[in-house]
Amino acid sequence: MDKELFVGTIAWFAPSIPADTKQSISDAIIDHGGKCSDTFDPIRVTHVVAQDPRFAEYNAALKNLLSVITPEWVESCLARGRLLPTRPFSPDPSHLFANVCVCVADLPPGDAEIIYGAVLGLGGQWAHSLTRFVTHVIANDPNDPKCILARNKPSIRIVTPLWVEDCLRIGRRVPDDAYLHDQSQKIDSESAKIPSSLPHIDADPEVTIPEFTNPPAKLFAGHTLYIDPDISLSAPYLESFTQLVQKCGGIVSKSLSAATIAVCLDRSTSTYTTAFQKGIILGNIQWVFDMIFKGEFLDPLKQLLHYPIPSKTQSIPKMQDLAICVSLYSGDARAYIEQLIRLVGAKYTKTLTPTNTHLIVPKAEGKKYAAARYWSLHVVNHLWIEESYAKWQMQSVSDPKYTQFLADGTLTQVVGQTQLKVADLAELISKPKESVIVEVDSDQEEDSAKENLQATTISNETEVRLQNRRSENSQELSIVPSTPRNPLEVVRDTVEQRSRSSRKSAQAATEKLHTAIEDLNEFQRHHSKLPKLPGEDTRKRKERAGTPSSKRSKNSPVADIQAIKILPTGFALDHLKEDDIEKLSKLGVMLVDDPSETTHVALEKIKRTEKFLVALAYGPKIVDRSYIEALLSQDTTLDPDDFLLKDKEGERQLLAGKTLLDVVKSAKDYCAKGGLFHKMGFNITPNTKAQGDVLKRIIEAHGGKCKFIKSARSKEYLVNNDQLVLIAGSSDGQFVEGANAYGKKHGYSVKAYTSEWVLSSIVRMDVTFDSEYRAD
C-alpha cells in the first residue's frame, strides 16, 4: 500500500467524532504520509473530518474551500489505494447530489450553467468530459457523441435534463430510472412532459431519498433579479429558476431597469455593461445557487467564480499557450483552480510532463514539485492564477509572492480568498473594444425596456419542456420552405470579435459551454500515473509527453498521436464501439464534437449541418466518411488526403460552380482574416427559416455579430460601415419595412435577406449581396 497516499493532507476532526474513530483515522492518515491538526486553522488544514455539519467551524470550512468529509473517505481511499473525490463523502444530509458527477452533452449554455450550479451547490460534481468519476450524462439527444461513448460504460447513466429539473422542483433526489433515455429512440416530447405528480418517486416507501431544507424564504426579500438573455436559458429551466427565486422572496423581472440584481454569464454583453454602470449588483448563476443552498446573501466580488466571467470568447493574452498542472490541492479547492485555468484560456493537464509550462502547488514538496524543478518549469502558488484572472492579465512569475512558501512549505493564504476590485472591473470595462457599432435613437431606453420585457418571457407551452433539436448528425438547414416558428430564446449580442486563435482557446477554456467528445485516450488519461521523476529514461519521458520518437515508422501506431481530429457530421455513428474508438486513438485519430478543435470534417455528402457550417470557419479538410471505416478495417495509419470527399452533385447544387477544394482554400484564407463575416453585424427577426439560436452560433463562428430584433419598430440595430443587414423570414414584412424606415432616417443602406443567404454564403465562402435571396 502507498505509504505516501495522504502526503499533503492535514486533517482536523470535528468535536463530534468519537475518540476511537478519531484515533484510528488519524493513525491511518499519519501512517500514509499525512498530518493531523489539533486546532482548526484554515490556512494549514486541508480536510475536516466530521459525521454531520452541526459544528461551529462548518461554514468557515466551506468558505475556505476545505474538504469536509466523513471518516469513510479515509477508509475508502485506503481500500482503493488512491485519493478519491471528497464530495461524495460529505456529511451534509441536504446534499441531494452526493455521489453524483454530471457531464452535460448537447444542452444550451444557460441550461448547462443551471445544472452545474445546482449539482455543485447540492454536493455533487461536474466534469467537462467523460472522466472515470462521471455518473450521469445529461442530454437531449441520446445519439450525441458523448452519449455514444458513455453507452459503453455501464456505470454511467444517460438521462434527460428533466431529472435535475424535477429534483430542484420538489427538493428531493428523484430516482433516475424514469428519466433514462431509450437507446433506440430520441425522447418523445409528449412523454417528456413533467407530470403534475411524480408517482414513481413515492412508489417505494422504504427508499430513503435525500432532501434539502426549504430555501430561505427571505434571502432575496426586496430584490428583483434580471436574467441576461445572453445566458440562453430554455423555457423549462427559466421557469424552474424563476420559481426558486420566488420561493426565496425575490422577483424575476423582464426589465433591467427594474432590477437590483443582474445575473450574467459573462461581461461582454450590453446587460453587464449597463448594470455595472448603473451600480446594479452583478453575479452569475453559481452565485445565486450558492446563496440559496447556504442560506445567506453573499458579496459576489468576494469569490472570483461568483462574478460573471470576463469573456466567453477571449483568453488572457499569452496564456492560451500555457500548459498548467496542479498538485497537492484537493476537493473544491482543486476544482476551483482547474476552472480558473480553463477560464484564462490555458490548457489544464492532469499529468505533469516536460511539455508543461507551469505547476501550481500550495507547498514546496511532492513528486510533481521535484519533477517540475528538475525540468525547470515555473512553480507557482494559487495566488498567481487567482490574481491573473482577477486582473485579467498574466502576472509575472518573478513576483516573490507567487513563488514563496513558509518554512514548513505552506502558504499564508488559503484558496479562494482573492477578491475582485471595482476599480479593476471599471478599468476593464473602459478599455476600447473592437466591435460592431450599435446605432441607437434617443428613445432607446423605453424601447429597450419593452424588448427586455419580451426577452425573458416564460413559455407555458408544455411541449417546450423537452423540445429536442433534431440530431445534428442528421439535421440539414434545408432550403425547403417550412412553417415559420419563433426561436425559443432571445439572445442579445456580445461585443467582442473573434479571431481564429481566440475563438479556439476560449472554447477550450470555458467549455461554458461543455461540448467536446472525449475519445478513449482522454478517458484513460484519467487512469494514468505520473511520469517518472528525475532519472527516467529521456526517450520514455518524451513518449509519455506525446513527443513522437524519430525511430517510429510511418505505419507504426502512432506517428503523430491525435494529430488528426475528425468531426463526423451528417451521418450516424451508433455502430462504433469502445474498441473502435480505442483503435482510432492508437492510429492517431481522435473523434471530436467541437468544430473549433477539428482538423478534418467527415461527411458522406455535402450536407449543411450546423456542425459543418461552423467548422468551415476554421478551414478544415473535408474527407469522406469511408476514411473512418477504412482506418477501422485496415487497422493502419492512412493518409486522409486519399479520402477527400468527392460530391459533384452536391457541388453543383450548393456551391454555385465551385469545388470543395475551392471552398476549403477560401475558408482557410478567411480564417486567417478573422472570418467570412468579420466586422459584420446581423439583425435577426423572429421568423427566419433557420432557428434563431442556431443561426447565431453559425454567424458568430465566422466572426460576425448578431442581434435579435423583437419589434418591427425597433430603435436599436447593429450597423457597420453605414450598412444594416437584416435577416428576415417570409412573414417578417413589417420588420423589413421598419428597418428600411430606420435606414432611411439615418442614411444607412439596408440589406434585407433570408437566412438562406447566410447559409449559402458560408457554404460557398463568398459574401455577395445579390437579388437571389432578398427578403424585401
Q: How confident is the model at residue 199 (pLDDT cuts 50, 70, 90)?
A: very low
Number of domains in the chain: 5
- Grid cell digits, residue 347: 490548457
Q: Specify which of 24-38, 181-195, 557-571 reaches the highest per-range mean pLDDT.
A: 24-38
**Grid cell of 12 as nine digits:** 482536523
Sheet holding 705-708, edge to edge: 705-708, 681-684, 723-727, 749-753
Same structural domain, 599 and 726: no
Q: Point out the domain boundary residue: 610, 638, 668.
A: 668
**In a domain? residue 206:** no
Of the candidates 377, 372, 352, 360, the one whose C-alpha atom is nearest the C-alpha of residue 545 is 352
In this structure, are 347 and 413 located in the same domain? yes
Q: Which amino acid is at 382?
A: H
* Highest mean pLDDT, choosing among 350-354, 627-631, 768-772: 627-631
272 within domain boundaries: no
End residue of a domain, out of 651, 668, 685? 668
Query: Is residue 698 classed as helix, strand or coil in its secondary structure?
Result: helix
DSSP-derived 3-state class of residue 722: coil
Q: Dihedral through CA 378, CA 384, CA 388, CA 391, nearest 10?
A: -150
Residues 408 and 326 in one domain: yes
In a domain, 295, yes or no: no
610 belongs to a structural domain: yes
Task: Indicate if 148 and 71 belong to the same structural domain.
Answer: no
| 357 domain-assigned | yes
Domain boundary among 55, 89, 123: 89
Output the domain CATH number for residue 615.
3.40.50.10190
- Do 515 and 613 reside in the same domain of the chain? yes
The pTM of this model reads 0.56
Task: Tell me the mean pLDDT in the region 673-687.
Answer: 90
Residue with cell 454567424: 699
Q: Same domain, yes or no, for 508 and 649?
A: yes
Question: Do both 408 and 475 map to the same domain?
Answer: no
pLDDT at 514: 35
Residues 512 and 644 in one domain: yes
Question: Does residue 686 lie within any of the structural domains?
Answer: yes
3-state DSSP assignment of residue 235: helix
639 located within any domain: yes
% of the chain exceeding 70 in pLDDT: 77
User: What integer pLDDT is reported at residue 478 of this predicted model?
Assistant: 32
Strands (E), 41-164: 47-49, 67-69, 101-104, 125-126, 136-138, 157-159
Question: Do 579 and 663 belong to one domain?
Answer: yes
Asked if 522 and 605 sit in the same domain, the reply is yes
Q: Which structural domain, as residue segments, surrounds residue 50?
A: 10-89
Residues 565 and 488 in one domain: no
pLDDT tens digits for 8-43? 899 999 998 999 999 999 999 999 999 999 999 988
Task: List, for residues 490-536, the tens digit of each pLDDT value.
Answer: 222 222 233 333 344 334 433 333 333 333 434 434 333 333 333 33
CB 265, CB 513: distance < 8 Å: no
Question: Quick check: is 205 in a domain?
Answer: no
Residues 649 and 513 in one domain: yes
Residues 6+ apart with CB under 8 A from 516: 128, 129, 592, 593, 594, 597
